């Protein structure tokens, strides 16, 4: 009560009082940090035997940022890789304000922590959950425990290999559009160079330095193209279309679409965590200070407005998908079942998920009014069948509908939510279903786009790999054209993209070396003893331990990128891009690597909390690459040095051109 009052006082107080209170909280955090660095480190430290990481940094930065300052200053994964070299695969370090973190990159430990028996005992850390909740709201990524198990059971079937295979043609459509767009950017740049278009006018996605690169040695059709910019737009279009049948058209229209703009704002909030936000999150973790998350800062207001917009659309998107599925059900169920769907029965089973919450009309609603929405199953009383209708499908009818009708990921989720073998309390509620589009978008567009851009960069740095890969893709394209393209892969460029072995190697190697999500964090909810495949030596070097004691409440750093760079696992050439290491991976990979999940590919982590969209992501990246490599050659811009920035995903900056933000410009030439 007292603290709630304090909260309101802070909101209403004149600036001076608010600043004084903020200062007070700052002092509280700093004293907590000092306590951790002194008494916590030297007196009450039950884990002092674990080797501790050190870094060269000022005292002030250590008090405020712990060792995190050094991590942030290095390229993603590099500081951890350095500590692995010095200290081995188990050590501890301090996060902001001295928060203790344990680092483990041992394969056996990772399988244990993320495996089915333990995953729910190691949820995401509290600050991560607070942060994600604020931006995404509730969804598969943010929920924990039983709620997660329930959601995952319904959402997983949408991502089976067979389901994703059916979505490949949708991805191909956007792959072809991406290639066409890049072609038009090249044409525009050529026209500008030859004086047919005004000099000094930038095209969409171009930064001033891109247009200034002298391409004398690249006669013909070449231009500097920011492949991250275009991959991001394409990934948004792909997930909108394949994820929930929504056409963002962002490749052509940018963020002109209202929903696209809302997601873009959420993504920006997600990517760019500033110190004030980190500070507020840390403070709001303290009991009684949760209200701090609601302080209406400019950023907070932007997030709230973007979330309101996305929620409005989500309601419409889910409602429309349900109506379409109701139409399918009507066409599929055997006549004898129809009487079960009496009006009264349906009304009982119906929940109302349509209508805008703010009274505003979305473009989707407008198109509904114009009669676009054809597939609606209604009972006599016009009550639509919705996903919450328990057991309206027998197992056979459900399987039939699930396999014969495809549609978007969301359609599959809604169908899975109707399965007869689910109890009422196992089904997703309307609110949970409405969280699905946002989850897919925020988890699935930035990651795929970033990974695509890093893969293109690696191929540009390794022309011989690019050539070999292009040859494989062109041969497959030829073969596919000869065979005729009916069936699942109708309209696809090369048929099944997963049938191309070298493409598989190139993608896996890119995910290992430049994984889009370099790390995540977990928190121990109980004391635990984590087994290791290789014993670690204590800080004083006198003892060895074949397991790590993790005290309840401690944070665990999950070193996705560092695992990919670990020379102990991969050998001395771990930092090199060598797709061949994945040739015959079942036999050729080092034994320690084969013990990793994947096997060997930890980029999507493992166990019940692994990336549900990993097959989707790999299919999408392969499809986009196939289209691009058939039409274009990619080269690095001479003299432009790259640095990296880990926001949530790992993004690239050009050294000396940081003012233009994160991007991945490459010289792209028509073949």
Q: How far apart are CA 182 and CA 175, in angstroms?
A: 11
- Window contacting ligand HEM (CB under 6 A); options: 179-187, 354-362, 367-375, 600-608: 600-608
CA–CA gap between residue 119 and residue 491 (Å, rounded): 41
Q: How many residues bind ligand HEM (CB under 6 A)?
A: 26
Among 246, 440, 454, 632, binds ligand HEM (CB under 6 A): 440
Q: Does 234 bind ligand HEM (CB under 6 A)?
A: no
Closest residue to ligand HEM, based on beta-carbon distance: 613
Tokens of 2: 């007292």
Minimum distance from CB of 447 to ligand HEM (Å)? 4
Distance CA 667, CA 385 (A): 53
Q: Which of residues 536-565 bind ligand HEM (CB under 6 A)?
A: 560
- Judged by beta carbon, residue 9 or residue 117, the one nearer ligand HEM is 117
611 is in an annotated binding site: yes
Q: How far is the CB of 435 from ligand HEM (least distance, A)?
A: 10
Sign of CA dihedral 359, 365, 370, 376: negative
Q: How far is the CB of 140 from ligand HEM (least distance, A)?
A: 4
**Residue 63 vs 569, nearer CB to ligand HEM:** 569
Q: How far is the CB of 639 from ligand HEM (least distance, A)?
A: 29
Site mask, ligand HEM, residues 181-220, x = CB under 6 A?
----------------------------------------
Q: What is the CA radius of gyration of the chain?
A: 26
d(CA 632, CA 635): 10
Q: Residue 195 CA to chain centroid, in angstroms?
A: 42
User: Which stretch, 5-13, 269-277, 438-446, 473-481, contacts ligand HEM (CB under 6 A)?
Assistant: 438-446
Q: Is 611 in the site for ligand HEM (CB under 6 A)?
A: yes
Note whether 526 and 494 are within 8 A (CB).
Answer: no
Token pair in block for residue 157? 């079937």
Q: Does 323 bind ligand HEM (CB under 6 A)?
A: no
Q: How far apart are CA 343 and CA 160, in angstroms?
A: 35
- In this complex, which beta carbon is closest to ligand HEM, that of residue 55 or of residue 457? 457
- Least CB distance to ligand HEM at residue 183 (A): 25
d(CA 428, CA 424): 9
* By CB under 6 A, residue 124 contacts ligand HEM: yes
Distance (Å, whole) CA 520 – CA 603: 11
In sequence order, which ranges of 462-553 are alpha helices (DSSP H)?
A: 463-483, 501-513
The Cα diameter of the chain in Å comes to 79
Q: In 10 A of CB 609, how many CB atoms?
A: 20
Binding of ligand HEM at residue 152 (CB under 6 A)? yes
At its nearest, how many Å lie between ligand HEM and the CB of residue 239? 6
487-526 footprint of ligand HEM as x/- string (CB under 6 A): ----------------------------xxx--x------
3-class secondary structure, 99: coil
For the bound state, the minimum distance from the C-beta of residue 108 to ligand HEM, rounded and expressed in Å, comes to: 19
Whole-number Cα distances in Å, 613 to 114, 156, 302? 17, 9, 28
Of 123 and 384, the one with the shorter C-beta distance to ligand HEM is 123
Hunting for tokens 């389901």 — which residue is that?
163
Check residue 604 for interaction with ligand HEM (CB under 6 A).
yes
Identify which of residues 64 and 113 has a Cβ nearer to ligand HEM in the complex: 113
Q: Tokens for 603, please give them.
A: 């980029």
> Is-contact 105 84, C-beta < 8 A?
yes
Q: What SS3 state is found at 535?
A: strand
- Which one among 168, 203, 408, 448 touches ligand HEM, defined by CB under 6 A? 448
Positions that interact with ligand HEM (CB under 6 A): 124, 140-141, 152, 239, 439-440, 443-444, 447-448, 451, 515-517, 520, 560, 603-605, 609, 611-613, 616-617
Residue numbering of the annotated binding site for heme: 611
């Amino acid at each position: 009560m007292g603290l709630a009052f304090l909260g309101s006082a802070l909101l209403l107080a004149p600036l001076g009082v608010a600043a004084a209170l903020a200062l007070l909280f700052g002092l509280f955090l700093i004293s907590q940090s000092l306590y951790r660095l002194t008494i916590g480190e030297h007196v009450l430290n039950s884990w002092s035997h674990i080797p501790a990481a050190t870094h060269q940094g000022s005292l002030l930065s250590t008090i405020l940022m712990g060792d995190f300052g050094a991590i942030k200053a290095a390229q993603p994964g590099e500081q951890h890789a350095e500590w692995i070299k010095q200290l081995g695969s188990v050590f501890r370090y301090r996060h902001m304000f001295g928060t203790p973190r344990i680092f483990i990159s041992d394969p056996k430990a990772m399988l244990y922590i993320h495996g089915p028996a333990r995953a729910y005992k190691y949820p995401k850390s509290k600050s991560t959950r607070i942060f994600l909740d604020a931006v995404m709201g509730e969804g598969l990524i943010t929920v924990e425990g039983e709620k997660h198990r329930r959601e995952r059971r319904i959402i997983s079937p949408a991502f089976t290999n067979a389901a994703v295979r059916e979505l490949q043609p949708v991805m191909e459509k956007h792959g072809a559009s991406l290639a066409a767009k890049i072609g038009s950017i090249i044409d525009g740049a050529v026209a500008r160079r030859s004086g047919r278009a005004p000099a000094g006018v930038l095209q969409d996605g171009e930064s001033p330095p891109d247009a200034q690169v002298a391409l004398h040695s690249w006669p013909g059709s070449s231009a500097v193209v920011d492949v991250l910019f275009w991959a991001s737009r394409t990934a948004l279009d792909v997930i909108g279309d394949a994820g929930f049948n929504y056409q963002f058209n962002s490749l052509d229209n940018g963020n002109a679409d209202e929903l696209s703009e809302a997601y873009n704002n959420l993504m920006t909030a997600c990517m760019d965590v500033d110190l004030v936000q980190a500070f507020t999150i840390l403070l709001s973790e303290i009991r009684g200070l949760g209200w701090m998350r609601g302080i209406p800062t400019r950023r907070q207001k932007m997030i709230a407005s973007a979330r309101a917009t996305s929620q409005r659309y989500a309601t419409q998107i889910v409602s429309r998908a349900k109506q379409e599925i109701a139409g399918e059900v009507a066409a599929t169920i055997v006549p004898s079942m129809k009487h079960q769907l009496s009006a009264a029965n349906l009304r009982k089973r119906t929940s109302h998920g349509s209508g805008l919450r703010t009274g505003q009309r979305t473009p989707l609603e407008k198109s509904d009014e114009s009669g676009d929405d054809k597939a609606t199953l209604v009972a006599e009383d016009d009550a639509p069948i919705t996903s919450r209708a328990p057991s309206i499908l027998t197992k056979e009818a459900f399987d039939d509908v699930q396999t014969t009708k495809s549609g978007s990921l969301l359609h599959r989720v809604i169908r899975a939510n109707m399965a007869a073998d689910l109890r009422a309390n196992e089904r997703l509620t309307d609110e949970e279903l409405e969280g699905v589009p946002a989850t897919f978008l925020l988890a699935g567009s930035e990651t795929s786009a970033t990974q695509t851009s890093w893969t293109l960069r690696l191929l540009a740095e390794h022309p011989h790999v690019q050539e070999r890969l292009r040859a494989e893709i062109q041969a497959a394209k030829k073969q596919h054209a000869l065979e005729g393209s009916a069936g699942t892969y109708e309209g696809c460029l090369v048929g099944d993209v997963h049938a191309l072995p070298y493409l598989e190697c190139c993608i896996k190697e890119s995910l290992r070396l430049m994984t889009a999500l370099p790390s995540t964090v977990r928190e121990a909810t109980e004391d635990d003893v984590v087994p290791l495949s290789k014993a670690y030596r204590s800080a004083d070097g006198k003892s060895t331990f074949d397991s790590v004691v993790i005290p309840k409440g401690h944070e665990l750093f999950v070193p996705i990128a560092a695992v990919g760079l670990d020379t102990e696992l991969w050998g001395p050439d771990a930092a090199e891009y060598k797709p061949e290491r994945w040739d015959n991976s079942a036999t050729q990979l080092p034994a320690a690597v084969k013990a990793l999940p994947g096997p060997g590919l930890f980029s999507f982590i493992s166990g019940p909390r692994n990336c549900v969209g990993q097959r989707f992501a790999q299919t999408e990246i392969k499809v986009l690459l196939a289209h691009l490599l058939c039409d274009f050659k990619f080269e690095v811009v001479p003299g432009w040095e790259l640095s990296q920035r880990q926001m949530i995903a790992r993004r690239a900056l050009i050294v000396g051109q940081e003012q233009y933000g994160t991007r991945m410009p490459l010289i792209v030439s028509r073949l």
